[in-house]
Amino acid sequence: MKKIHGGDGYNYDEMYDYSINVNPLGAPQSVKDALKKAADRVEAYPSYGSLEVKNKLAKTLDIPPEFINVTAGASEAFMAIAHGRNYQNVAIKAPSFYGYEYALKAAGSRLEHFTTQGFQNFLKGYRGDAIFMANPNNPDGEFFDHDSMLEMAQLAKDHSMDLIVDECFLTLSGHEKDSLVYDIKNDPVGMNHVIVVRSFTKTFAIPGARIGYFVTSNKAYHKMITPQLIEWNASNLAQAAALAALDETGSYIDRAVNIIKEERPRLIKALIDKGFEVPEYESGANYIFFKGPAGLKDKFIEKGFFIRDCSNYYGLKDGDYRIAVRDRAANDAFINALNGIEL
């Protein structure tokens, strides 16, 4: 199967895993404690529909709970949306996370790709069923400001298309206020063709828990998509982690965003000084895309670091890579390893 994610560092001993882009602070202690406590409930079935998580999310985001559907990470959301909505023709921002393509192909959709340059002309002439994209984009970190996203939403509406936006990295980029979730709240009818997908994975550094959600004001869409979710899709442990994480949305997030703001320029400079090309965007994303020589991933493994080979992204090739932005100590070690690599 074509590789979808980073996160293969567990196949190696004593590795710094720079292939996954999670909160540089790591999981909050409160979340770890909640997971341990939840182990006592492992013999019981979890809450069907994750109602407590849904209600707490609704309170946190200040939106109606019926707008929310809890999923086993963002990946289940994409698969359920693709099958539930049964799109025939879909446009995908390129390069983008392969998981969209994987889910849509599984549902039998025909795909076309568009790039940022000239995307408006492409979409104005496109007659499909949906647009899939991420903000900020993965892997290159391109960020679309609020006005641009509203323009995209209007363009999709004008052509009777859904707009599916992956916002899994938005909070850590420092652009939470630009989320389309709040536009869905303020204009539920005008934005009822928009589906926003989010995850606890990146924001709270809990990829092993597998919990996320999607938001749409369209009741008909929920009726189509919900049956595509597996029963009891979020375990007791995952729900406990999410509930604890939602109590950590203040200083924990602010500290992580500040670390990313401080560390991102250091890593970019180190990559450029090494002679690599960094197509920089003013995104604040907790990852950096760069171009280097083929075979660089293996050289980093020899140094004890696992980086993301992006050659499986549509439009990218050997020599395209992505690294996470981590804390100062880890990034110092990464820069030392980078400087020690012979090209």
| Backbone angles phi and psi of 45, in degrees to 5 | -65, 145
Residue-level pLDDT at 1: 40
Residue-level pLDDT at 7: 53
**What is the residue-level pLDDT of the chain in tens, covering all 343 positions?**
444 545 555 555 568 999 999 999 999 999 999 999 999 999 999 999 999 999 999 999 999 999 999 999 999 999 999 999 999 999 999 999 999 999 999 999 999 998 877 777 787 788 899 999 999 999 999 999 999 999 999 999 999 999 999 999 999 999 999 999 999 999 999 999 999 999 999 999 999 999 999 999 999 999 999 999 999 999 999 999 999 999 998 899 999 999 999 999 999 999 999 999 998 776 789 999 999 999 999 999 999 999 999 998 999 999 999 999 999 999 999 999 999 999 8
> Can you list the domains of the chain with their CATH numbers?
8-26+250-339 (3.90.1150.10), 29-245 (3.40.640.10)
Find tokens 């492409």 and name the residue.
122
1: how many CB neighbours lie within 10 A of its CB?
A: 4
DSSP 172-217: TTT-GGG-THHHHHH-TTTTTTEEEEEEHHHHTT-TTT--EEEE-S
Closest CA to 77 of 50, 55, 58, 113: 50
Closest CA to 248 of 330, 172, 177: 172
Question: What are the percentages of helix, strand and coil residues in the chain, rounded to 5?
Answer: 45, 15, 40
Alpha carbon distance 251, 37 (integer Å): 24
Q: In the structure encoding, which two tokens stand for residue 173, read together?
A: 């980029």
Q: In the structure encoding, which two tokens stand for residue 244, read together?
A: 């604890």
Q: Is the peptide bond before 95 cis (omega within 30 degrees of 0)?
A: yes
Interior angle at CA 228, CA 223 and CA 230, nearest 5 = 120
What are the residues facing 134 on neighbouring strands?
A: 166
DSSP three-state, residue 340: coil
Report strand pairing: 305-306 vs 16-17: parallel
Q: Is the peptide bond before 139 cis (omega within 30 degrees of 0)?
A: yes
